[in-house]
Structure 1
Amino acid sequence: MQKGKIGVSSDNLFPIIKKFLYSDHDIFLREIVSNAVDATQKLKTLAGRGETKASVEDAKVRVSLDEEKKTITVSDNGIGMTADEIEKYINQIAFSGANEFLEKYENDANAIIGHFGLGFYSSFMVSDKVEIVTKSHQEGATAVKWSCDGSPEYSIEEADRDGEGTDIIMYVNEDSKEFLNKERISEILNRYCKFLPVPVVFGKQTEWKDGQQVETEEDNQINETNPAWTKAPVDLKEEDYASFYRKLYPMGDDPLFNIHLNVDYPFNLTGILYFPKLKNSIEVQKNKIQLYSNQVFVTDSVEGIVPEFLTLLHGVIDSPDIPLNVSRSYLQSDSNVKKISSHITKKVADRLNQLFKDNREDFEKKWDDLKIFIEYGMLTDEKFAERAMNFFLFKNTDGKYFTFEEYENLIKENQTNKDNNLVYLYTSNMDEQYTFVQTAKDKGYDVLVMDNVLATPLLNKFEQQYSDKRFVRVDSDVVENLIQKEEETESLSWEEKEELSPIFQAVCPETNGVNYIVDFKNMGEKGQPIVITRNEFMRRMKDMGQLQGGMSMYGDLPDSLNLVVNTAHPLVQKVLEAKENKMGEEFTTIKDELAEKKQERQELEKAKEGKKEEEVPAADKEKLEDLSKTIAELEQQKRAKLTDFGKQNKLTKQLVDLALLANGMLKGEALDQFVRRSVELIK
């Protein structure tokens, strides 16, 4: 028996191996099985060249579990090793360069990853002792056994083994006994080894017999050695792509279409990406891309590795240029990964553009399922955004689709305002904003449908990109103001508006979190008597605040609604007439006295003009102060009288409730009172 020490100067190496990647310590099985696959493929290569007489007909990797002995064994009939090769590859090369990193990162074990590979030594993450029994494919070779208990000391001795290949026997430690479970091993193999290029066997197949599952004599192969992405696109049909998708996502809906990646320069990259049917929520869809290196699973947490918007895709990416034994932070800074990421972005954009050009009708049918993905890409990746302008579509309320250029040509004649800005009208909910949509269409305007979670940030982006374009929601103002063509004409004086304001304000709902601002517009006799609108800027800010998890200060602001009274409507004129008829002499007296006091104050203010403060007589100052107090009191009395009138006037309340009803904002007791009042007014 030969004994020796592994070429490291510290006894801390194995504790560090066990510690780092602790959260993913099931990775050991991927490493050991991958090494066995490599050994098998090397033997196949030599056999293909005629450099070995070893048989490769039944090449496979077998994983065995012995719960009594507490061992996991990974066996292959691959290339095998001689005693000299064990010394070279296990005791020396695997740890070349390890010492300097131990000295540098002894207190930061995670930093080691990416600098030297774990490979075989990951087995010590779960084992008290590891043995290698191996026999080289070379003629006349004898089997040898290597053993190590997790210290730098090891032993090598002759052993018995039938045929070439290698057994890795791991004696599982007490902390890792979870891996002495058949279901747990199956789970790991299915996660990491599902598509390895050499058959991987674990246990026997089962069948239902006599009311229970029983084992058969057939080996249970857990992997598919030639998955769809390893084949040439010309050799695959649509049903092959669909079948592979179902293997990846057995519970998923059928995808819209796919992109087959097949690149060999300037880097190697294969894979199949699928466009899923995305809902309005994007978070739950992420992390469905599986990242492989030579058919070995690396991760499905690809955020930061591929562009943000590509995490919404499903499928597989495989590249030998992606390092296998590295942390995510290392992957994110790797130059090859960045090149691959950029290339995939271009391929996705090219594929979408080609689909649009080849069959626009089919592309339009899929648009509602595609738009969140494309919009997300445009918001998070500038290069994709540039390419996407070729196939981005607007959809209007008639269900017709337009490119950016097509839609501009459609609306520029009728929807250009007095400042020469092109105004894009849109609705976020056709049912809730139906009246506003119809009013805009009756005026000859076209209305877009922008009804998903990304609409607000996307419109902000468009407005930043195009300074001569404005996006306005149809319920943000009365139709006359959505696209201002000329200065508006008013049918009421400022004084009449001032007196009407508290009348309508008095019957606005006292709803928590909502402020009502009364405004007046001439919307014509045929327009609605009252329209409730939402300020475009404030609404967008609140939307952005909610989208960002309430991080924006606007997200906590109360809702602000405009109660726009149509000054030209006969019913509003009727309220004005009722006010004139019923307010009485007392109200007239208050108005007259108020006008008189304001006139006095105006004369005193005029007398002060051109004088310094000390030059104004004290009596005038005192009189000005008294007048201001009197005017404030009279204004308060006047407003109180108008408020009382508003609360008592059924028509005023009815008009406001009609506007609330049109917006779906009249509910409960208020709705019941509205119905009762309607019956009374009809009688």
Structure 2
Amino acid sequence: KDNVINKIEPLWTRKPSELKEEDYMKFYRDLYPMKEDPLFYIHLNVDYPFNLTGILYFPKIKDRMAIEKNNIQLYCNQMFVTDHVDNIVPDFLTLLHGVIDSPDIPLNVSRSYLQADENVKKISTYITKKVADRLEEIFKNERDAWEKKWDNLKLFIEYGMLSDEKFCERALKFALFKNTDGKYFSLEDYRKAVAENQTDKDKKVVYLYATDTDEQYAFIEAAKNKGYDVLLMDCELDSHYVNLLEQKIPDTRFARVDSDTIDNLIPKSEKVKPEMAQADKDDLSAMFKAVLPKGNDYFVEADNLGENAAPVIITRNEFMRRYREMSAMGGGMNFYGNMPESFNITVNLENPVMAGIITEAKSKITPMQELPAEPGKDASEDEKKRINDERQAIKDAHQAVVDEYATGNDILKQVIDLALLSNGLLKGKALSDFIARSEKVIADACRK
């Protein structure tokens, strides 16, 4: 029984000059009656150095769940052959819909033979070029339409840039950025717009971005208050994409707005850290780790962020987070995925609440007893064990004092929980405890 397409007039055999927009749309609806109308199409027609005709349509692709391959039908002299064209066109083009017809594509041959065939290579290159030509044409001549279509094209174009070097070089000219205010920029225009204000001390232009405007709202606002612009990069491929752009655009660095404190995202000069004795740093870190949720790695550091800044800011290292996401995207967690989540905890010494907690802690946590010197090389095994056990016992006793203070300090727990809550990290019992503690604080305030 003939495939249903053979009952439809082969529109791809006609000249583009003979056809109207509605002809292309009707043909698409006949091919894919359950699909949304496409964004636009390309009519292919070449007879040298190979014969190829066809019509390719760009479907709306909003997320990975909408990706469907094997929607391009291959014909030979108007006779259906297959809808598996992954050996004939680059992988990213298999996301397109439509028809290609060529008598010059060898049939019933192995995958390796197809990949080595000169005509197939030329056809693949030609189709990629025509796609890039069409995209660049719309970008140049119909910029408003291009921007309106961008959100539905972005995943396709990023996939193409990541998987095909030649397409990537072309796409750098017509790819867009979208910022958190909904404004679109070409890559070239965006660099011109932010370079003056967002160049760091190492002469790199820093592109700040967010992946969720609700979850990262506070960080976005902090960046805007500094006069910085923030891109919206909410595509599933963006962890890979920003890596690619850092390689393709010289002197460029991407940083998610919640990957560090605002002053550290775009450092303008070498920053002087506040002076703290090592023992005080150790106690501060121990206090926070006593209260923070277990199972993650926390790196606690003190900084002067200003009295109006939050007492505690929790961020995730850009490198570790990005590569964890890339690893997960690849279908396995590998090295990064098997590691605990890591968070940077920045304690703002200039915040009045935090300053009060630290002052009180110093008065209530007695300094750790001086540790005995480490055993020498010539000490006996028994002597080494005795000294090491004594050192550890002193450390454990001091840690118990720190833990008792930290876990009994409702203000410290409240400050930490607020920071966790702002990052979507407060859940389950910890969230319930926070709510109960907050209600108690309100009740106590009302009684006063």
- TM-score by length of structure 1 reads 0.62
CA distance in 1, matches of 2:421, 2:212: 16
Query: What SS is found at the alignment partner of 1:563?
Result: strand
Distance in 2 (CA, whole Å) between partners of 1:645 and 1:227 is: 80
After superposition, residues 246-645 of structure 1 pair within 5 angstroms as 246-281=29-64, 284-466=67-249, 468-494=251-277, 495-510=279-294, 512=295, 514-550=296-332, 552-583=334-365, 587-588=366-367, 591=368, 593-594=369-370, 597=371, 601=373, 629-645=389-405
Deviation track 1:453-509 (CA, whole Å, cap 9, x = no partner) reads 110111111223345211111111111211111232344513322221111111101
What secondary structure, in the 3-state scheme, does the structure 1 residue paired with 2:80 have?
Answer: strand
Calculate percent identity across the aligned residue pairs. Answer: 53
1:415, 1:284 → 2: CA distance? Answer: 35
AA matched with 1:543: E
1:332 alignment partner AA:
Q
Q: Contact between 1:528 and 1:569, CA under 8 Å: does it hold in 2?
A: yes
Give the 3-state SS of the residue equivalent to 2:309 in structure 1: coil
Supply the distance in 2 between the matched residues of 1:318 and 1:470 (Cα, whole angstroms): 44
Contact persistence 2:61–2:67 (CA under 8 A): no
Question: Are the counterparts in 2 of residues 289 and 316 from structure 1 also a CA contact under 8 Å?
Answer: yes
- Once residues 420 and 348 of structure 2 are traced to their aligned partners in structure 1, the CA distance between those partners, rounded to angstroms, is 15
Task: Pick one of 190, 194, 202 that aligns with 2:3.
Answer: 190
Pick closer, same or farther for the CA change 1:238–1:639 going to 2, 3 Å.
same
The Cα of 1:520 is off from its aligned counterpart by 2.2
Question: Contact 1:515/1:558 (CA < 8 Å) preserved in 2?
Answer: yes
- Aligned partners of 1:550 and 1:556 also within 8 Å: no
1:18-57 superposed matches below 5 A: none
3-state DSSP class of the match of 1:402?
A: strand
- 1:426 CA drift (Å): 0.7
SS state at 2:73 partner: strand
Per-residue Cα deviation, 1:156-202 (whole angstroms, up to 9, x for no partner): xxxxxxxxxxxxxxxxxxxxxxxxxxxxx4xxx125xx33xxxxxxx
Alpha carbons of structure 1 residues 272 and 282: separation in structure 2 relative to 1, 3 Å: farther
Larger Rg: 1
Displacement of 1:332 after TM fit? 2.9
User: Which amino acid is the alignment partner of residue 640 of structure 1?
Assistant: A
Is this contact kept in 1: 2:203–2:251, CA < 8 A? yes
Deviations 1:563-611, CA, capped at 9 Å, x for gaps: 222122111111112213333xxx25xx3x41xx56xx49x99xxxxxx
The residue number in structure 1 matching 2:428 is 668
Residue by residue over 1:422-477, the C-alpha shift from the partner in whole angstroms, topping out at 9 and shown as x without a partner, is: 11111111111111111111111111111111101111112233452111111111
> How far is 1:364 from its partner?
0.5
Cα distance, 1:490–1:329 mapped onto 2, change above 3 Å: closer
Q: Does 1:657 align with 2:439?
A: no
Task: Give yes or no for contact 1:282–1:312 (8 Å, CA) kept in 2.
Answer: no
The superposition leaves residues 100-158 of structure 1 with CA deviations (integer Å, 9 ceiling, x where unpaired) of xxxxxxxxxxxxxxxxxxxxxxxxxxxxxxxxxxxxxxxxxxxxxxxxxxxxxxxxxxx
Q: Is the 8 A contact 2:67 2:95 kept in 1?
A: no
Q: Is the 8 A contact 1:293 1:324 kept in 2?
A: no
| Cα contact 1:397–1:447 (8 A) shared by 2 | yes
- Do the aligned partners of residues 567 and 657 (structure 1) sit closer, same or farther apart at CA in structure 2, a change above 3 Å counting? same
Give the Å deviation of 1:249. 0.5
SS at match of 2:200: coil
- Whether the 8 Å CA contact 1:393–1:404 is kept in 2: the answer is yes
Equivalent-residue separation in structure 2 for 1:489 and 1:622 (angstroms)? 45
CA distance in 2, matches of 1:288, 1:507: 54
* Structure 2 gaps, min length 5: none
Q: Over aligned residues, Cα RMSD in angstroms?
A: 2.3
Question: 2:401 & 2:108 partners in 1: Cα distance?
Answer: 80
Q: Is the 8 A contact 2:70 2:84 kept in 1?
A: yes
Query: Quick one: distance in 1 between partners of 2:408 and 2:395?
Result: 20
Structure-1 residue corresponding to 2:19? 236
Q: Which has the higher strand share?
A: 1
Greater relative CO, 1 or 2 (CA 8 Å, sep 6+): 2
In structure 2, the residue matched to 1:647 is 407
The answer (yes or no) to whether the contact 1:531–1:563 under 8 Å persists in 2 is yes
Paired residue secondary structure (1:487) = coil
In the alignment, what sits opposite 1:149? none
User: Which whole-Å CA distance do the structure 2 matches of 1:565 and 1:247 have between them?
Assistant: 62
Contact 2:314/2:346 (<8 A) preserved: yes
Q: Secondary structure of 1:506's match?
A: helix
SS at match of 1:261: strand
TM-superposed CA distance for 1:283, in Å, is 7.7
Q: Which amino acid aligns with 1:582?
A: K
Report the CA distance between 1:622 and its aligned residue. 9.8
Retained in 1: the 8 A contact 2:274–2:302? no
Distance, in Å, in 2 between the alignment partners of 1:466 and 1:362 is 26
Please tell me whether the aligned partners of residues 544 and 555 of structure 1 are also in contact (alpha carbons under 8 angstroms). no
* Contact 1:544 1:552 (8 Å CA) reproduced: no
Matches within 5 A, 1:160-171: none
